Amino acid sequence: MARIGRSQRHRRRYCEVERMTLSVESGFAQSVMVFKAFELASRGSPDFLRAATSDALNLLRPLAHFEMASLSYWDEGSNQHSPVVNFGYPSHIVALCDALIHTDETFHALRERRTPLRLRGLSAPALSGTVGTKVIQRNSFRDGLTHCFFSRDGRYLGYMNLTSLSRDLNDSATHIVQLLEAAIVPVLMSAALPAPDGTCDSGSLTSREREVLALLPSGSTNNEIARALSISPTTVARHVEHIIAKLGAQNRTRAACLAIELGLLG
């Protein structure tokens, strides 16, 4: 009987390990799907970008266990945030958060540390700023996560909020969001693209300028582009200036977004 009991315990443990393995494999496959969905979102029109980003957040929801999410980009021209997509929040909350978050001291600290900030366990002083008092506490959010995104050369691009009202987020949400950075950064860069004004002269780009342009959406610096193309950083800077002028863009970020929007990289 003792031998039978040990055999049954071993079998139960084996089944538990098997279920855990299947869960990990399923979670990894789902994470890959979310990554690819965000990658796809940056390659289409503004309407497609918003719809595809919403689809990507819908895929992310069962992994992170949030009920509401938003993604907002930083507009360098107006020095304010604007929403890419709102997934479940009342619209006035997203508008209020976009208007206030860059004035919040906790958000400033978040931008400096460059890792996700979890709402659960935040101290009272951290929640005493404008967003904490006017958004989080007023709406009784149970748990949440905020993460800022940057280009490779350190330019701030925007932020993501994930929020739960009824339960805690999955503890893996922080790691998942960080793993998705490489796919979300191009989405924010594309969202920052202004509507084409007819001044784009993409047909006059040289082959070398197109090679440089192809590396801009990833946020590559001039030094990184120079190494990739075996040219000098000074030459890269000159090509970037020409690209910006020919595309009628305000800066390299908008040039990269315009290139994606007009399909100049394919």
Per-range mean pLDDT, top range of 33-47, 96-110, 121-135: 96-110
Residues 6+ apart with CB under 8 A from 246: 200, 201, 202, 204, 205, 209
- Pick 2-191's CATH classification: 3.30.450.40, 3.90.1410.10, 3.50.50.60, 3.30.390.50: 3.30.450.40
pLDDT digits (tens, 9 = 90+) for 86-119: 999 998 888 989 988 988 888 989 999 899 999 8
pLDDT at 218 exceeding the cut of 80? no
Residues 6+ apart with CB under 8 A from 44: 52
Distance CA 264, CA 249 (A): 14
Q: Where in the chain is the domain with CATH 3.30.450.40?
A: 2-191
At residue 21, the pLDDT reads 41
Q: Where in the chain is the domain with CATH 1.10.10.10?
A: 202-261
Give how far Cα 31 sits from Cα of 90, 161, 227, Å: 27, 18, 32
Rg, C-alpha atoms of the chain: 22
pLDDT at 33 exceeding the cut of 70? yes
For domain 202-261, the question of CATH label 3.30.70.20 is answered with no
pLDDT digits (tens, 9 = 90+) for 149-196: 998 888 899 999 999 988 899 888 999 999 999 999 999 988 887 655
pTM: 0.66
**Position with higher pLDDT, 210 vs 258:** 210
